[in-house]
């Protein structure tokens, strides 16, 4: 998708709004691209009850999860390390996220102009996009 210059969206999040849980990013690299589909399928099943967003990129994946506790992060990491086909994996606890919407809009405007579709400003109220609605997880 990236090589084809696809436009896709990522969910907005505010980890500080989460109560009685912790957000974490599980960063996964694969032994080879040949096993990737099966590894991703297994990870999606394994992380199903925790997964907020599966960021499956070209050469690695970042599964954003919401866990009930910090010790659970170590349990999840141990379980993921057992999955056949994983080259490396680490878990990073997320304290804050910075979202740069203006840079995204500028890139989208350039892409849309290249496709002759017109700028985002005519299609989206940017003030809404700058103030995402965050739900508390409990």
- E strands of 8-132, at which residues? 22-30, 51-56, 60-67, 86-94
Structure-token pair, residue 57: 């990129």
Question: Please, what are the domains in the chain?
Answer: 15-94 (3.30.70.920), 101-130 (no CATH)
pLDDT confidence of 113, banded at 50, 70, 90? confident
Query: What's the pLDDT score for residue 52?
Result: 81
Query: What's the pLDDT score for residue 133?
Result: 39
More confident residue, 94 or 3: 94
pLDDT (average), residues 76-102: 85
Distance (Å, whole) CA 49 – CA 119: 38
Kindly give, in sequence order, each residue whose CB lies less than 8 Å from that of residue 1, ignoring residues fewer than 6 positions away: 8
User: What is the pTM (predicted TM-score) of this model?
Assistant: 0.62
pLDDT digits (tens, 9 = 90+) for 37-83: 899 999 999 999 988 877 777 788 888 888 999 899 999 999 999 99
Query: What's the pLDDT score for residue 95?
Result: 75
Query: What's the pLDDT score for residue 131?
Result: 40
């Amino acid at each position: 998708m990236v090589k084809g210059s696809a436009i896709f969206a990522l969910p907005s999040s505010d980890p500080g709004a989460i109560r009685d849980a912790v957000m974490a990013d599980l960063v996964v690299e694969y032994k080879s691209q040949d096993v990737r589909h099966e590894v991703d399928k297994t990870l999606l099943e394994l992380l199903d009850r925790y997964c907020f967003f599966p960021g499956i990129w070209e050469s690695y994946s970042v599964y954003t999860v919401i866990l009930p506790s910090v010790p659970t992060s170590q349990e999840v990491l141990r379980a993921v390390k057992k999955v056949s086909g994983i080259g490396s994996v680490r878990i990073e606890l997320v304290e804050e996220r910075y979202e740069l919407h203006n840079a995204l809009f500028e890139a989208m405007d350039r892409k849309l102009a290249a496709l002759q579709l017109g700028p985002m400003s005519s299609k989206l109220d940017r003030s809404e996009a700058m103030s995402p609605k965050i739900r508390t997880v409990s």
